[in-house]
Amino acid sequence: MIKKRDGRRVEFDGNRIRTAIAKAYWEEEYSPDKKIPPYAEDIVQYVWDENEAYELGVEEIQDIVEQQLMKFEPAVARAYVRYRYRKECIREQKNEFFGLLGEKINATNVQNQNANVDEYSFGGRKGEADSIVMKQYALDYCMSDMARENHLNNLIYIHDLDAYAVGMHNCLTIPFDDLLAKGFNTRQTDVRPANSINTAFQLVAVIFQLQSLQQFGGVSASHLDWTMVPYVRKSFWKHFRTGLVYVEHRLNDLTPDCDIGDLSIESDFYDKFDAPNAYGYAMDMTERELWQAVEGMYHNLNTLQSRSGNQLPFTSINYGTCTLPEGRMVIRALLDGSIEGVGKLHRTPIFPCGIFQCMKGVNRKPGDPNYDLFKLALKSTARRLYPNYANVDWSGNAGYDVNDPRTYFSTMGCRTANGYDINGFGQLKDGRGNICPVTIILPNLAMLARQEYEKAGTRGDADGNSKSLWEIFMALLDQKISEAKDMLIERFEWICHQNPESAKFMYENGTMAGYIPEEGIRSALKHGTLVIGQLGMAETLEILFETNQCHPRGMEYAKKIEQLFKDRCAEYKQEYKLNFGVYYTPAENLCYTAMKKFRESYGIIKNVSDHEYFTNSIHVPVWEHVGVFDKIDIESQLTGYSSAGCITYVELETGIENNLEAMEQIVNYAMDHDIPYFAINVPNDTCLECGYTGEFNDKCPACGSTHIQQLRRVTGYLTGNYKTAFNWGKQKEVEDRVKHTGRMSE
Amino acid sequence: MRYAGIIYDDTAAAPGVCLSFYTQGCPIHCEGCHNADMWDEEGGLEFTPDVLDKVITGLHANGVNRTFCILGGEPLSPRNTFLTTLLVSTVKEKSPDTPIWIWSGYPMEEIIHTGNPHTEKLLTKINGLVTDPFVLAERDITLKFRGSRNQRVWKFDAEKNLWYNIEKEQERFSIDGNN
């Protein structure tokens, strides 16, 4: 008997030694039919004898074989050592893999990669463990060496790698107009079209949830105010009929199935009844029903934990431009609902991410029809951080149709936006989304360029011409942008090869627009975007020029870098007929993990790696002391290069609730400076005893409780308490955030 | 002359984005004052003419029209009245449309009856005034533009030449000194 590694005792098997020696002897040419060297028998006999004297373990046997081989044929002994070493590596890899898996299964090393996932929950532990396996599989079996190496070497990061192998896509703006009007199918049943505002809002939550299971990213509604108009009308008509019967007692005026179609609540159709009491009743009841419906939606979207990790779907709703009376009612209800908050303590709703669409002549200035709603939006933002502000007049959304709100600029809450579709949908947002993103980690390219520059020294290249650090960097960046494009095409092809049955809800109901079954799912996916993201502009400029984009010289080079991104994406878009776009990546987890790896390679460099995270895309670093308008000035010079999504935020003081005039000036300033997507960060600490909301860190100033929830913005969304939900790097980033107003200087 | 500092983009003082100028030195010494470091008349920074230039430029920086706020410290203390008057008259001259607000720990009754011609003139040039000492027992963090409930917010009606309490409009002071 001998003793195996795992402690089991088994019969001595000489064949295992013979095979191992043969493998060492033949190396790559080995096959089971190859001759075994004659001395193998002597060695087997020797081991047998030793084992008779004293029961050996596997490692001891291998040591003896190695010594014996040295006597017979040293070259084979060396091959045997290499063979042993390789086997050892595989065992270690396996241990490491299962070690990681164990950490996730047991939640012993919680990283909070995604603030929306509870890594301690059953669902979270299972989901995170799955993710380890899926990531490894994707790296090993689904992509080219180029893609894998770029990812593993921290140069071009593949997002949501765990969703790669099964071929899911990222996010989608859902065509709610169609789904609510036509109804939809699920695996178990079908759902009839909505016939009241209450049902319509219920179905919005249901559809959000169903669609979010078909993909790995967020879901949005691009113009929910317009979408809901017909359902306000339907409800109004129902209530009016009830009013006629029970308030006015005029049963005979109606035929039971009289259908008014899509008639305005202000239509003179209602005047003809001459029933003011029924009309007043209908108005009152419709508003109540709408309020209840909206409140239901807010609660649903904060409670329907439907994905692995007990995640809520990432939901966003855009609204604000509808000037019809029904649309205005919806906008008001959405904002009132946001201000009201959810739960017993009226806490800030984390989902949906509300986005108010600012539009000239509609809601921007006194006298505009929805100006009152813009002011209400500001009130909500001051208290709830939502809504954010999308700029319908943004120059980058040129070519939209003013008569079609489905083409108005809208965003996925985090920042992702659907740009112009080269495959026929133009500026249409509905039914489109981001297919997949990659992110170029710019500071790593800058370090590689610097190393090459320093290596070349003054000697120059083969022709004696010395290239500047800038030229080396730009050449490398150009190469990496091209590789990023290839990586996106690789993944796009992989996604296109999936069976439509994998996302039946999406393809059967046309939530992703353009699907033609005979042509395969590519017919729908080709309208989505493929985006090249970026991380760490500020640190990159520090490496290259010891400055950043807050200073004119840094800005000059930042623009050149962005111009290259923009030009290349435009070229690829024409060449491949796919919607390549420049993306200012959220990088919620990457900002931290990329920095950890950067430090392992390069250590701590002043202004580059002396924080725990890389600065988001082209953002002004959070620690820079700049005023609120200066920050907008700086970022507005770069946001125009991004067609696939960006966000600009400013940090204000909590007291802003008492100064909505100032907020209005700030939001208007951002819109007037062509910022596409703007958000205001106000510290949002809520006392979980009394519900008081403000900025107070560890103790409630109203009741003294220390039971506090601290909400902060991450990417474009909010999450739960940042101190428990954010990863370490992001927590540090939050703590480093400098306020852009209220700072005393000389 | 001394001053404490300037907040170029302030959203916590008056309505709208403000440029807030903090005077140095205060004889009132309210318990719980959150600017106690501005009590010492010799503290803070030396006021020089270029500070005045910075204020004028700052009021319209980035093309944004700001409200001008003077806080402290006590802007209307005997030592600071001259500087406050200088600031107000310069801003009024160089930027006539800029609204001006002042925060004082003195009650309105005292401010309006000082008999000081500088103060009297000042009161016709500014738009908003927050008065009265901070009282810790009356502290309320939800109040607009002030720290304790006893403090009052006043606006100037230029046509009628009178100051009125924005919460109690019958409480008013005509600028010639008669109630």
- Confidence (pLDDT) at A309: 61
A565 within a domain of the structure (yes/no): yes
Q: Does residue A38 come out as left (phi exceeding 0), alpha (psi in the -120 to 50 range) or beta?
A: alpha
In chain A, which residue's Cα lies nearest the Cα of B3? A746
Q: Between chains, do B5 and A744 touch, taking CB under 8 Å as contact?
A: yes
Least confident of A33-37, A407-411, A475-479, A582-586: A33-37
- A254 confidence band (pLDDT: 50, 70, 90): low
A235 within a domain of the structure (yes/no): yes
Least confident of A6-10, A80-84, A201-205, B46-50: A6-10
Question: Looking at the structure, do residues A273 and A371 belong to the same domain, yes or no?
Answer: yes
Question: Looking at the structure, do residues A480 and A584 belong to the same domain, yes or no?
Answer: yes
Question: Looking at the structure, do residues A124 and A27 belong to the same domain, yes or no?
Answer: no
Q: Does residue A320 come out as left (phi exceeding 0), alpha (psi in the -120 to 50 range) or beta?
A: left
Question: Looking at the structure, do residues A453 and A466 belong to the same domain, yes or no?
Answer: yes
A59 within a domain of the structure (yes/no): yes
- Confidence (pLDDT) at B151: 96
Question: Looking at the structure, do residues A165 and A179 belong to the same domain, yes or no?
Answer: no
- Confidence (pLDDT) at A253: 67
Q: Which residues of B touch A702 (CB under 8 A)?
A: 141
Alpha-carbon distance of A719 to A440, in angstroms, equals 26
A549 within a domain of the structure (yes/no): yes
Token pair for B122: 């000042």
Question: Looking at the structure, do residues A166 and A113 belong to the same domain, yes or no?
Answer: no
In Å, what is the CA distance from A326 to each residue of A267, A290, A476? Answer: 12, 10, 54
Q: What residues have CB less than 8 Å from A114, skipping those under 6 apart? A: A309, A311, A588, A589
Q: For the whole model, what pTM was predicted?
A: 0.89
Token pair for A108: 């012993």
- Positive or negative torsion for Cα A619, A722, A667, A175: positive
In chain A, which residue's Cα lies nearest the Cα of B65? A665
Question: Looking at the structure, do residues A235 and A359 belong to the same domain, yes or no?
Answer: yes
Q: Structural domain of residue A131, as residue ranges?
A: 107-141
Of the candidates A661, A666, A746, which has its C-beta nearest B15's C-beta?
A: A661
Of the candidates B9, B51, B144, which has its C-beta nearest A628's C-beta?
A: B9
Question: Looking at the structure, do residues A122 and A160 belong to the same domain, yes or no?
Answer: no
Residue A337 has pLDDT above 80, yes or no: yes
CA distance A696 to chain B (A): 11
- Confidence (pLDDT) at B178: 46
Nearest CA among A700, A698, A693, A662 for reference residue A680:
A662
Question: Looking at the structure, do residues A81 and A130 belong to the same domain, yes or no?
Answer: no
Alpha-carbon distance of A372 to A556, in angstroms, equals 40
Q: Between chains, do A742 and B8 touch, taking CB under 8 Å as contact?
A: no
A217 within a domain of the structure (yes/no): yes
Q: Between chains, do B7 and A744 touch, taking CB under 8 Å as contact?
A: yes
Burial of A407: CB neighbours in 10 Å, binned 0-12, 13-18, 19+? buried
3-state secondary structure of A585: coil
Question: Looking at the structure, do residues A244 and A161 belong to the same domain, yes or no?
Answer: no
Q: What residues have CB less than 8 Å from A22, skipping those under 6 apart? A: A30, A34, A35, A36, A37, A40
Question: Looking at the structure, do residues A88 and A128 belong to the same domain, yes or no?
Answer: no
DSSP string for residues in B107-173: -HHHHHTS--HHHHHHTTT-SEEEES---GGGB-TT-SS-SBTT-EEEEEETTTTEEEESS-TT-EE
Cβ under 8 Å to B: A residues 642-701: 652-653, 655-656, 658-659, 661-663, 665-666, 669, 694, 701
pLDDT digits (tens, 9 = 90+) for A49-73: 888 888 888 888 999 999 999 988 8
Alpha-carbon distance of A599 to A576, in angstroms, equals 37
Q: What residues have CB less than 8 Å from A642, skipping those under 6 apart? A: A396, A562, A581, A582, A583, A584, A617, A676
Cβ neighbours, 10 Å, residue A127: 20
The total of structural domains in chain A comes to 4
Segment of A448-462, A611-625, A687-701, B105-119 carrying the highest mean pLDDT: A611-625
Alpha-carbon distance of B175 to B153, in angstroms, equals 16
A501 within a domain of the structure (yes/no): yes
Answer whether A628 touches B (CB < 8 Å). yes
In Å, what is the CA distance from A495 to each residue of A435, A500, A525, A604? Answer: 9, 10, 9, 39
Query: For the domain that residue A546 is a member of, what is the CATH number?
Result: 3.20.70.20
A283 within a domain of the structure (yes/no): yes
pLDDT digits (tens, 9 = 90+) for A457-490: 755 555 656 789 999 999 999 999 999 999 999 9
Write the DSSP symbol of residue B96. Answer: T
pLDDT digits (tens, 9 = 90+) for A135-163: 999 999 999 999 999 999 999 999 999 99
Question: Looking at the structure, do residues A153 and A301 belong to the same domain, yes or no?
Answer: no
A177 within a domain of the structure (yes/no): yes
Q: Which helix (H) or strand (E) holds A103?
A: helix A74-106
Cβ–Cβ < 8 Å for A710, A723: yes
Alpha-carbon distance of A48 to A507, in angstroms, equals 66
Nearest CA among A562, A712, A571 for reference residue A637:
A562
Mean pLDDT, range A501-507, rounded to an integer: 95
